[in-house]
Amino acid sequence: METGKQDMSRASLARVSGGADFTWHCLPPRGKSGGILLGVRANVLDPSLIVEGEFYVKFHLCNRTDKFEWILMAVYGPAQDEFKSDFLSELVRACQHNPLPTLIGGDF
């Protein structure tokens, strides 16, 4: 989710999650662009690693029920043309040596 905010309060996160127990990670915006909030239900998914890039947040996840491992990425591509090449290069690097199934979502 694009936030446009530097930080999110616990009360705001509780409202977004409906009070459910979530693991959250927030990437602050750069200037007026972006800001990414990524969260997963803590009783369903176990994040073993959280990686932050300039344009993405990536969770390495393990399903608690069947131990299936996978990756969830939230991306926010730049609106300015001069940053599009940087965005695409970073996305390639983030996925290049990725051995796990990956789901990428966001605005790009």
Confidence at residue 88, expressed as pLDDT on a 0 to 100 scale: 93
Q: How far is CA 58 from the centre of its chain?
A: 5
* Residue 70 resides in a domain: yes
Q: How many domains does the chain have?
A: 1
* Residue 1 resides in a domain: no
Q: Is 50 exceeded by the pLDDT of residue 2?
A: no
Q: Is 60 exceeded by the pLDDT of residue 74?
A: yes
Q: Is 50 exceeded by the pLDDT of residue 1?
A: no
Confidence at residue 75, expressed as pLDDT on a 0 to 100 scale: 93
DSSP output for 35-102: -EEEEEETTTEEEEEEEE-SSEEEEEEEETTT--EEEEEEEE--SSGGGHHHHHHHHHHHHHT--S-E
Q: Quick: pLDDT tens for 37-54.
A: 889 999 999 999 999 999
Task: Quote the domain boundaries for residue 50.
Answer: 10-107
pTM (2 d.p.): 0.81
Q: Is 70 exceeded by the pLDDT of residue 70?
A: yes
* Residue 99 resides in a domain: yes
Confidence at residue 9, expressed as pLDDT on a 0 to 100 scale: 62
* Residue 2 resides in a domain: no
Q: What's 36's domain CATH number?
A: 3.60.10.10
* Residue 4 resides in a domain: no
